[in-house]
Amino acid sequence: MNELKPLSTQVAVVTGAGRGIGAAVARKLAALGAAVVLTGRTPEPLEATAAAISRAGSKTCVIPCDIQDLGSVEGLAAKVEQQLGRVDILVNNAGVGTFGIPLHQLEPEEWDRVLNTNLRGVYYAIRSFASRMIARHSGHIINVSSLAGKNPVPNGAAYSASKWGLNGLSYSVAEELRGYGIRVSVVCPGSVDTELSPHEGKDKSKMLEADDVAHIVAMLVTQAPQSFVSEVLVRPTQKP
């Protein structure tokens, strides 16, 4: 193994890789040597992330996918297998949120959008990729959750519910897959300065940066094989 490129033989898939945390995670894994598959619904930001990775001399490709559609996710998994022959790391990062609206005023369509992306989409991805990892008896699944999955979020109940659900899903799937040599971890960041985060009333200079979360993902996928961290809570040093 190349100590400077510890992931040089591995293939990583990052959902929601066009911007924010997903783009930062993709760049970090590529810098560690992984061939990174960038996926999401909108090609333009994915291509921008791919260009940045390519300029740095790392390997990447773009395969658009709608994480809310099972057929689209199954197609993604088939294309990764066909083009790259394997998947070693799956980072379920794609997420959306609705804030500033109390639950009793939230439209059902908005509830569906948040839950289908943040929770159902992770199920679809694990369903599509886990069997391939089981066949190799190895793999990492990293689910990007939030401290909103630990704490109440008034006027953001749908987002909070999706992340509480994602945490429970992660703990359970970790037990289901650990016997196959697959490590499942959930990362719960606090306020991150991205387009998704509500910034009203917060000091952006005190918020976490996307690269902070990418650093945690890199730590998880480069751990020694005899152990795994099931959950990481990431907080800003100072409250924004």
Q: How far apart are CA 115 and CA 216, in angstroms?
A: 25
Question: Any catalytic annotation for residue 159?
Answer: yes
Residue 48 one-letter amino acid: A
Cα of first residue to Cα of last residue in the chain, in angstroms, is 40
Residue 150, helix vs strand vs coil: coil
All residues at 6 or more sequence positions from 99 whose CB lies less than 8 Å from its CB, including other chains: 153, 155, 156, 159, 198
Report angle CA 228, 92, 46 to the nearest 5 degrees: 130
Residue 134, helix vs strand vs coil: helix
Q: Which of 123, 124, 159, 180 is catalytic?
A: 159
Largest CA distance in the chain: 54
Task: Please check whether residue 101 is in contact with residue 154, taking contact to mean a CB–CB distance below 8 angstroms.
Answer: no
Write out the H or E segment, with its range, that includes residue 47. Answer: helix 43-55
All residues at 6 or more sequence positions from 4 whose CB lies less than 8 Å from its CB, including other chains: 33
| Catalytic residue ranges | 159
